[in-house]
């Protein structure tokens, strides 16, 4: 049978479109952070931050829709992980950078946060695939799920709303060796550490 153009899109399930909406929101948040850095309009930054909770809604709905329609696939799981990396990994880091976490140590922490999120999702996918071979389901999360970064975005949104960004960012800045560190960046370090924890187990609904 001859393959038609866009045949992959035609094979998408309803839940997959919600997953793509999640990725769309995360990408929009990254662009909003870039726009703020370009023009300095706080409203753009707040709009970008508002897209992350919306991405969280789409992320929750895609799983519910997949279970409701009793349709799941390896493609859907991979799409979900890739969308989550954008919306709950890269986008929060970009928003944090836009808020003023721009020191050398901040860069390392934000990059490490994204790396922890990617590692967390990869571990979950491998675990889910292993259990699926045995006809079982994943019963718990090892480490906090990456969408919990929406809490960090909420904190940043509050700071932006209060004008506590840039040189006025909460907790200020300290010089450590050759680079600067904004202590607020440590919330990203804590979140990343919790995501890759092997001992923290959270029941999966």
Angle at 141 between CA 138 and CA 142, to 5 degrees: 120
Q: How far is CA 158 from CA 24, 98, 154, in A?
A: 23, 14, 6
Question: For residue range 26-85, what is the model confidence (pLDDT) as tens digits?
Answer: 999 999 999 999 999 999 999 999 999 999 999 988 777 756 556 666 666 788 899 999
How far apart are alpha carbons 118 and 99 in whole angstroms? 23
Q: Which residues share a beta bridge with 141? A: 202
Q: Which of 191, 166, 186 lies closest to 45 in space, CA to CA?
A: 166
Q: What is the pTM of this model?
A: 0.88
How far apart are alpha carbons 112 and 115 in whole angstroms? 5
Question: For residue range 108-117, what is the model confidence (pLDDT) as tens digits?
Answer: 999 999 999 9
Q: Are 30 and 48 in contact (CB under 8 A)?
A: yes
Chain mean pLDDT for the chain: 87
Q: Which residues share a beta bridge with 201? A: 142
Name which CATH class applies to 7-203. mainly alpha
Angle at 19 between CA 60 and CA 32, to 5 degrees: 95
With a pLDDT cut of 70, the percent of the chain lying above it is 80
Q: Where are the domains of the chain?
A: 7-203
Give the model's confidence band at 7: pLDDT under 50 very low, under 70 low, under 90 confident, else very high: low
């Amino acid at each position: 049978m001859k393959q038609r153009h866009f045949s992959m899109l035609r094979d998408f399930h309803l839940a997959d479109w919600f997953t793509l909406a999640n990725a769309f929101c995360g990408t929009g948040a990254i662009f909003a952070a870039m726009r703020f850095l370009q023009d300095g309009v706080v409203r753009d930054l707040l709009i970008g931050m508002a897209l992350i909770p919306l991405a969280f809604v789409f992320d929750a709905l895609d799983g519910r829709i997949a279970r409701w329609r009793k349709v799941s696939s390896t493609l859907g799981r991979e799409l979900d992980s890739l969308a989550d990396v954008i919306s709950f990994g890269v986008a929060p880091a970009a928003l944090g950078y836009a808020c003023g976490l721009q020191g050398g140590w901040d860069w390392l922490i934000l990059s490490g946060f994204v790396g922890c999120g990617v590692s967390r999702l990869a571990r979950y996918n491998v675990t889910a695939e292993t259990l699926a071979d045995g006809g079982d389901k994943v019963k718990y999360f090892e480490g906090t799920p990456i969408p919990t970064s929406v809490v960090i975005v909420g904190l940043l949104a509050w700071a932006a709303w209060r004008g506590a960004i840039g040189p006025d960012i909460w907790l200020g800045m300290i010089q450590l060796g050759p680079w600067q560190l904004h202590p607020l960046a440590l919330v990203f370090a804590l979140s990343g550490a919790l995501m890759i924890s092997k001992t923290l187990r959270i029941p999966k609904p």
